[in-house]
Amino acid sequence: MSKSFISDIAFSPEVKKRQEEMGSRKTYQKMAERRDWQDTITEGLESFLALRDSFYMASANNEGQPYIQHRGGPKGFLKVLDEKHLAFADYSGNRQYISVGNFDVNNKVHLFLMDYPNRMRIKIWGEIVPQTEEDVTLFEKVSDKDYAAKVERIIKIKIKAWDVNCPQHIEQRFTIEEFQPRIQRLENKIEELEKQLKEFQDKK
């Protein structure tokens, strides 16, 4: 019996067959043997999540029909509960309930998180954890008191695997907040140069 790896969550027998056909299977086999994907939350991953203000979340219904939803919030709204679990507050929105309906019949979930300024992306495979009465205490931990919308539920995720992708083809993009320090430095430089120019003109 062949050894199992964390990355087998994505590299199914069918995927491995395709890799064999296309000549990449040996590379990914060596990768798994040398440095496989991870299934626990490291300090590095936690720091990465603390700076994210959005992510993409994939679900699928019982027929396998996939659905991807964009989720956004304050930086760090996707909370680390422990080395195996994440959670975030699910606020009242457009009331389509496609993701949560899918989770009722298929608890598999996939998160895709982008860091455009640093050209980095992280993929997380997981399973939705059913809510229990004990999870009531999570409301205070994961909800944002400054956000007016109503929290309808807490979505709790058990991590099964995660991996960092290469930066190829990720173009750097910046939010206004991220770019503001650069703008400020330029404005300060312009102000200093204008001051020097005025001093020079006054001496003439």
Identity of the residue numbered 157: I
φ/ψ of residue 153, rounded to 5: -165, 165
Statement: 38-171 belongs to CATH 2.30.110.10:
yes
Sheet strands side by side (includes 85-91): 66-72, 54-60, 108-115, 120-129, 151-165, 85-91, 79-82
Ordered by start, the domain boundaries in the chain are 1-36, 38-171, 174-204
Distance CA 183, CA 148 (A): 31
Residue-wise pLDDT for 69-112, tens only, equals 999 888 999 999 999 999 999 887 778 899 999 999 999 999 99
pTM: 0.85
Residue 147 has pLDDT above 80, yes or no: no
* Higher per-residue pLDDT: 170 or 48: 48
Residue-wise pLDDT for 122-135, tens only, equals 999 999 998 876 66
